[in-house]
Structure 1
Amino acid sequence: MTSTDVRHTPARAAGRVPDQDSGRALERAAESPRSAVWLAAWPVTAVFVLSNAATPLYVVWQREFGFSAGTLTVVFAAYIVGLLGALTVAGVLSDRIGRKPVLLPALGLAALACVVFATAQSVVALGLARLLTGIAVGATVSAGMAAVADVAGPARKRLAALSASSAMVLGAGLGPMLAGVLSETVPGPTTTVFVIEAVLLATAFVVVYRIPLAPARRAAAGTAGTPGGRLRIASVPTANRRQLLLGIAVFAPGITATSFVLSLGPSLLAGLLGTSSRIVAGSTAFVMFAAATGVQFAVRRLAVRTTLPAGAAAVVVAMAALIGAVQLASAPLLFLAAMLAGAGQGLGQLGGLTLLGATVPRERAAEANAALNVGGYVPAGLLPVSVGYLSDAVGLRTGATLFAVALIAAAVAAVALVLADRAATEQF
């Protein structure tokens, strides 16, 4: 039987025989230099620059369009809606049809979001831009992070988790810093940053197009999709559900804390601390995500059983600092809260990705990434919106305090959960 005949046997068509091209690509990945892994993470960074680039600009749009803090959090949450919608299918789809067919359209949607942001004349346009951004980010979180793991190869799973996770938070911090500085130093305060971001996305498109990625493995019925080939909502194999639960338990409070700072941080700065500087707002977000990036490099050799409780503890201290900041109108405490919130997200994200990367089969890697992010972004969307409308009724100081108390409780529960199930993290 020729090699051509082997490719078209019924067993291969059903996905029961490993794909030879996929295997060869994985072998090449194992021999690729470390720099190739970091290059593969660039599209993740480029898309996440867009994810938070609008943060310092909301005060400008609020002044122009005249909307409340509640409406602001709804605009912010439109991103979460798009992201969750993409996460529910993009991970499974990426595992079935390949990384590039998911990533390239995602970059196109991100570029379209730049156009809508740059030309926005209403709250509806801002909501649409945020929705498109969320879809692009959801697809990139799923397929982009899995692509990094593919390039890293099976022998460098921890490097893959570190590069993908740090690329995400680095981009998330660069976006608001660029927007804040550019909006106050160059013409077009709500336009220039999105023009630059479009250029960054173009370079990411080239990277995705050129990096060597294994073709999708055809899954057997009931693995990458439901019987009959239909897609399902992102999940993980039964054997990995404990690891997924532990990752979500810590990642969710961390990313909810950073989402609060992103959505209502500028309002806190303006209303409680008396500054409307977009540079200060952007720099606060950058410092937060710089902490998220730096802490991951600092703990990259630590075991997950240490990383996860440390992430939850960072959220507890961050929320205590937030309470102090709003009660005392203290800018230093607010900056401290932002840094610790970033550290909490970074530690929870790295711990969760490491657990899943070490245990979930490659053919479900993107789906596992999606499931982790769904678990984190649901509270990250719901709680800030609730606090936004609550703050319209009772004041930003009271709303922020109640939010901090709720997140402290969630983080303490996460520590208890991780410590009670040490067996699930013992090997990592």
Structure 2
Amino acid sequence: MTTAAPTIARTTRARHRTGFWFVATAFLTLMAFGTVPTPLWPIYQDRDHFGATTVTVAFAVMVVGAAAGFHLLGHLSDRLGRRRIIVPALLTGILSAAVLAIWPGLPALLVGRVLTGVAVGLMASTATVYLTDLHHAVHPDEPRSSMPALVATASNLGGLALGPLVAGALAQWAPAPLRTSYAVFGALMIVLLLLVLSTPETVDIEARGNDRPARFALRPGAGAAFGSAAAVGFFAFAVMGLFSSLGAIIVRGQLGITSYFVAGLAPFTAFAASALAQLALLRASQAVALVTGTITFPIGLALTAVSLYHPMLWLALVAAALSGSGAGLLFKSAVAETVGAAAPASRAGVLATFFVIAYLGMGLPSIAFSIVIRQVALQPAMIGFAAVLSLGAIAAVVTARRHK
């Protein structure tokens, strides 16, 4: 008995440790799948003859699906268990990949994107909390470790970065560009589904019984902190939405570059820089990360506007990197603040609400921008867009620090 107990404990910790990375990889892959169409939008435009507004709407319907998934289902893992939500998320992603790969045309694109959004809505908040649970099971002596939040944010934003890069490379050098990327990611999600099924559950469903945690419950006095954190997430994701929906089209139209791989570089650079900035400031305090993000965010947006007046690929990529790094640092700080504001039994529900607001930021400003550029030239529209987002982000950060 005495020798068996440590062995069982080591085995349990090992399963939780490997499960942690299975969930992180599944999170990254599904988020990457969400941005796969980014370098493919010019191909869809040429094939179906639609404009930037239709592209933005086709991108934004994913946001609608994600918001529905977050709002209606994202909180359920607090009651039903983490794995019971992650598995349907991957199944929905696999179904979306099949629809997009098999059924050509704009209706399929819209249906597939809504399904992708639902999958993301199920995955993002649940995986973020699941990673925290799994890490705590392996390291119970590190209750305040930043590792789970870092891995969750890197999986989220790193996945969003990899999608355009992989899809751009496949579109450039593989056959059937509007089918291959979806088939590849669908196959990856099938493999990851099997791995996640072997990951231990971290919610004691039987012990909880009929005790249903509140769908949205904050710690006492944390309402203002959550509101300001959600606002920071909204503005941070607005930049990501712009690069995801119109980044490839801007690169093609302004720089005259027809390579699908290069078209995917701008959004890849923005998302990758967001993840790398967090790694670079891994040991920095949250205040330092927040201030750094607040400085680099408007500088990157300003350079993005400048790059439209002086179209050079290197300048566009530098602007994307600075915008993305600033947005990533702001987003990471906002996620950490949200987790801290949530009541322990309602973390998934609170994060789901946070992600609803953040994903609305990813979709709504981009739609507004695509409508504005139908009436106003792209360059002045970008200046206004940069100014609004910069001022909004700074105001949200100041409010967040005031309520810290």
Under a length normalisation based on structure 1, what TM-score does the superposition of the two structures give? 0.85
Secondary structure at 1:343 match in 2: helix
Deviation of the 1:183 alpha carbon? 0.7
Deviation of the 1:323 alpha carbon? 1.2
Which portions of structure 1, spanning 4 or more consecutive aligned residues, are displaced by more than 4 angstroms?
25-36, 219-222
Q: Which residue is 1:16 aligned to?
A: none
- More moved, 306-315 vs 197-206: 306-315
Pick from 191, 205, 218 the counterpart of residue 203 of structure 1. Answer: 191
Runs of at least 5 residues in structure 2 that lack an aligned partner in the other structure: 1-7
Mapped partners of 2:11, 2:214: distance in 1: 24
Deviation of the 1:201 alpha carbon? 0.4
Deviation of the 1:144 alpha carbon? 1.4
Mapped partners of 2:258, 2:204: distance in 1: 49
- More moved, 240-249 vs 254-263: 240-249
Q: Which residue is 2:160 aligned to?
A: 172
1:138-177 → structure 2 map (5 Å cutoff): 138-153=121-136, 155-156=142-143, 157-177=145-165
Q: Say whether the 8 Å CA contact 2:228–2:397 is kept in structure 1.
A: no
Q: Say whether the 8 Å CA contact 2:248–2:266 is kept in structure 1.
A: no
1:199-348 → structure 2 map (5 Å cutoff): 199-216=187-204, 218=208, 223-225=213-215, 234=216, 236-348=218-330
Deviation of the 1:36 alpha carbon? 4.7
Mapped partners of 2:321, 2:153: distance in 1: 17
Q: Which residue is 1:12 aligned to?
A: none
Q: Say whether the 8 Å CA contact 1:40–1:151 is kept in structure 2.
A: no
Runs of at least 5 residues in structure 1 that lack an aligned partner in the other structure: 1-24, 226-233
Q: Which residue is 2:97 aligned to?
A: 114
Q: Say whether the 8 Å CA contact 2:19–2:198 is kept in structure 1.
A: no
Which amino acid is the alignment partner of residue 278 of structure 1? Y
Pick from 33, 55, 60 the counterpart of residue 77 of structure 1. Answer: 60
Q: Say whether the 8 Å CA contact 2:232–2:396 is kept in structure 1.
A: yes
Deviation of the 1:65 alpha carbon? 0.4
Which amino acid is the alignment partner of residue 178 of structure 2? T
- More moved, 316-325 vs 150-159: 150-159
Distance 1:30-1:302 versus aligned 2 partners, 3 A rule: farther
2:55 is aligned with 1:87:
no
Q: Which residue is 2:358 aligned to?
A: 376
Which amino acid is the alignment partner of residue 303 of structure 1? S
Distance 1:309-1:39 versus aligned 2 partners, 3 A rule: same
2:117 is aligned with 1:126:
no
Mapped partners of 1:101, 1:260: distance in 2: 33
- More moved, 286-295 vs 235-244: 235-244
Secondary structure at 1:236 match in 2: coil
Which amino acid is the alignment partner of residue 185 of structure 1? W
1:38-57 → structure 2 map (5 Å cutoff): 38-57=21-40
Q: Which residue is 1:182 aligned to?
A: 170
Mapped partners of 2:347, 2:243: distance in 1: 30
Deviation of the 1:287 alpha carbon? 1.8
Deviation of the 1:129 alpha carbon? 1.1
Which amino acid is the alignment partner of residue 181 of structure 2? V
Pick from 358, 373, 392 the counterpart of residue 410 of structure 1. Answer: 392
Mapped partners of 2:259, 2:305: distance in 1: 22
Number of aligned residue pairs: give it: 390
Mapped partners of 1:151, 1:260: distance in 2: 34
Mapped partners of 1:210, 1:33: distance in 2: 10
Pick from 179, 186, 192 the counterpart of residue 180 of structure 2. Answer: 192
2:373 is aligned with 1:391:
yes
- More moved, 51-60 vs 273-282: 273-282
- More moved, 65-74 vs 278-287: 278-287
Distance 1:31-1:187 versus aligned 2 partners, 3 A rule: closer
- More moved, 59-68 vs 368-377: 368-377
Mapped partners of 1:26, 1:342: distance in 2: 41
RMSD, aligned CA? 2.4
Task: Describe the superposition over 1:117-141 as per-residue Cα deviations: whole angstroms up to 9, x where unpaired.
Answer: 2134322211111111010001101
- More moved, 242-251 vs 58-67: 242-251
Mapped partners of 2:198, 2:379: distance in 1: 50
Which amino acid is the alignment partner of residue 180 of structure 1? G
Secondary structure at 2:172 match in 1: helix
Deviation of the 1:219 alpha carbon? 7.6
Secondary structure at 1:311 match in 2: helix
Under a length normalisation based on structure 2, what TM-score does the superposition of the two structures give? 0.89
Secondary structure at 1:170 match in 2: helix
Mapped partners of 2:18, 2:198: distance in 1: 15
Q: Say whether the 8 Å CA contact 1:313–1:411 is kept in structure 2.
A: no
Deviation of the 1:163 alpha carbon? 0.9
Secondary structure at 1:392 match in 2: coil
Mapped partners of 2:133, 2:27: distance in 1: 14
Secondary structure at 2:76 match in 1: helix
Pick from 61, 84, 88 the counterpart of residue 101 of structure 1. Answer: 84
Mapped partners of 1:88, 1:361: distance in 2: 17
